[in-house]
Chain A
Amino acid sequence: MHIPDGFVSAPINLATFAVSAAALAVAVKQARRDLDERTTPLLGVTAAFVFAAQMLNFPVAGGTSGHFLGAALAGILLGPFSACLILGLVLIIQCLVFADGGLSALGSNIFNMGVIGGIVSTYLFYAIRRVAPKTKAGFLAATAVASWSSVVLASASCALMLSWSGTSPLPIVLPAMVGVHALIGLGEAAITTSVVSMLIAVRPDLIGAWKPAGGES
Chain B
Amino acid sequence: MNRQRTSLFRANRLKTVVVVTRDVVLTSIIDRFLKDSYSIVVFTKIEHSLDYIYNSLPDLLIIDISLDDVVTIGIINDLKSDPIFGQVPVLAVLSDDFIIPKWDYLFIEDYVRRSYIETDIIAKADLCIKRAERVIEINPLTRLPGNITIIKQIQRRLETGEIFAIAYADLDYFKPFNDKYGFGRGDEVLKMLGRLILNTVKHKQPNSFVGHIGGDDFIYIMGPDLVESATQEILDNFDRIIPTFYDAEDRAKGNIESIDREGIKKTFPIMGISIGIATNKIASYSHYGEVTERASEMKKYAKYTGGSCFRIDKRQYASKN
Are A and B genuine complex partners?
Answer: no
